[in-house]
A = this chain, B = another copy of it.
Amino acid sequence: MKKLAWFPEALFNSYAQVFFSNNKWFGIILLALTFVDFNVGIHGLIAVSTALFTGYFLGLHEFNVRQGYYGFNSLLVGIGLSIYFQTGPLLLGLVIISGMLTVFVALAFEGILGKYGLPFLSIPFILVIWILRLASRQFEALGLSERGVYILNDLYLLGGKFLVNMYEWWNQIPLHTSIKAYLLSLGAILFQQNIFSGILASIGLLIYSRIGFFLSIFGFYIAYFFYQLLGVPFTEVSYSYIGFNYILIAIALGGYFIIPNKSTYLSLLFIIPITAVVGISLQQVFNLFFLPIHAFPFNVIVLLYLYGLKFRIDNRIGLSTIFWQQQSPEKNLYNFINYQERFGKESPIPIYLPFYGEWSVTQGHNGAYTHKDDWKHAWDFEIKDEQGKTFRNEGDFASDYYCFDKNVLAPADGIVETLVEDIEDNTIGTRNLEKNWGNSIVIKHSEFLYSKLSHLKKGSILPKIGDKISKGDIIGKVGNSGNSAFPHLHFQLQATPFIGSKTIDYPISDFWMRFQGKE
């Protein structure tokens, strides 16, 4: 069963991603919570599993499957369907094909939005649930669920009369209509439109992030007062069908995708009313089809805003988009401040040369031999003597080469993400076309910034996967493994953590430019 080793991580991530997190334990807790209503839990689990296995059998990259992006959208579809429809083999079948469809829709949006550097958020979920709800009107064999009855039964089974009483007590607390609407909206994120679930969710949010909790209230009340101002008809129940959009957008654009600060909070004073107008407008259109709009306004405005910010050439008012997603507003803020203190400016992360002394680039960007296309932004380094030779004697042995066995350094701070270390070094003049990159190390420096050092000497790599390393740490020695006929060091920067990732073109720090000695 080693082949399925990826499954648990992918499963838990699929749950945690609902709240933008990739914390394993958070995922496990959420999985457990969905089983408060057994039918919801089981159908959610089936939907996630379907999506994950669809990804696996299709042959998608395991990394992407493990991150839970596809699974999280399918999870929401599965939960949604189990809440709308009666359980039974028909629902089961629909959940399975919906899980598959969600993966393909997610891939399409990954491809399309990816071209614009944007995430696909929960768009696949929304599209698929719309499709299913429209289609299901023709499914006469599929009954609508009567969930109102079941939840009390389920609670009774879980915690007896006490839990049922508590549930009902909470739901009857004489709260201000706006507070009720806030709690209902929070619960509605996971289709649990009741006060009790709202309170649980708000406690969870407070634990996860105080900034996030503050933002949820801040965003909600901006929208609430805007509604009052404009005289939009308001009941807490109907409002909660759209209200979570304001909560989600406040968290997303107030602290998750943007570093939280005064400008960010101020910007919400405009973003939330815009979201409200767009949301109310879209609702008018979807009413015609008797469809709820779910988090569609949230998706639209987040994409529009993040994309618009990319057109800036000047960060005049201090809206800094996240460079390295830390999965919580607090951590993002801390990381950002920390980074600024150390490097004095926001980005990019400076990358240094991975060796001491003076080496020669024997194959640069868009090299004549192998650095083409996807690997065009890579360098091969060797050491040359005054005659320009890279070896002593006849060059028949690896040890004749000046660069062989020299120390390879970490080009910047980071975490070891991927390692290959069991490949024999080639004898001079031969190459290993099976294992192209030979012994290699991939280091994560930030979100979307990894460096790879390849053709290292077998047995020379010092750190292990997950190790934190600092700029200049010795991480291995130059070797002759992989598709390498002569010892040399292959160095490249890439946006993904794989051995076979494409290169990106990233500026090497000033030192490098000066080292070149010429413009």
Chain A: residues with CB nearer than 8 A to chain B? 56-61, 90, 93-94, 97-98, 100-101, 103-105, 107-108, 110-112, 116, 130-132, 134-135, 137-142, 229-233, 270, 273-274, 277-278, 280-282, 284-285, 288-289, 304-305, 307-317, 319, 361, 363-366, 368-370, 372-373, 380, 431, 433, 483-486, 488, 505, 510, 513, 516-519
Chain B residue at smallest Cβ distance from A141: B231
Chain B residue at smallest Cβ distance from A226: B93
Chain B residue at smallest Cβ distance from A482: B519
A274 to B233, CA, bound (A): 38
A349 to B519, CA, bound (A): 30
A141 pairs with B230, CB closer than 8 A: yes
A270 to B483, CA, bound (A): 42
In the complex, which residues of chain B have a beta carbon less than 8 angstroms from the beta carbon of A365?
366, 368, 372
A273 pairs with B93, CB closer than 8 A: yes
For this complex, 21 residue pairs linking A to B, each with C-beta atoms less than 8 Å apart, are A58-B311, A59-B313, A60-B311, A90-B230, A104-B304, A105-B304, A108-B304, A108-B307, A132-B281, A134-B280, A134-B281, A139-B231, A139-B232, A140-B230, A141-B231, A142-B230, A361-B368, A433-B510, A483-B519, A486-B518, A486-B519
Q: List 7 other contacts, CB 8 Å, given A58-B308, A59-B317, A134-B284.
A: A58-B309, A61-B313, A97-B277, A134-B282, A141-B229, A284-B289, A372-B505
Shortest beta-carbon distance from A353 to chain B in Å: 15
Chain B residue at smallest Cβ distance from A316: B59
A58 pairs with B281, CB closer than 8 A: no
A135 pairs with B58, CB closer than 8 A: no
Known: A97-B277, A519-B370. A56 touches B105 (CB 8 A): no
Shortest beta-carbon distance from A504 to chain B in Å: 10
Residue of B57, B131, B232, B307 touching A277 (CB-CB under 8 A):
B131
B229 pairs with A369, CB closer than 8 A: no
Residue of B230, B319, B485 touching A519 (CB-CB under 8 A):
B485
Tell which of A108, A140, A229, A311 has the most Cβ of chain B within 10 Å.
A311
In the complex, which residues of chain B have a beta carbon less than 8 angstroms from the beta carbon of A518?
369, 485-486
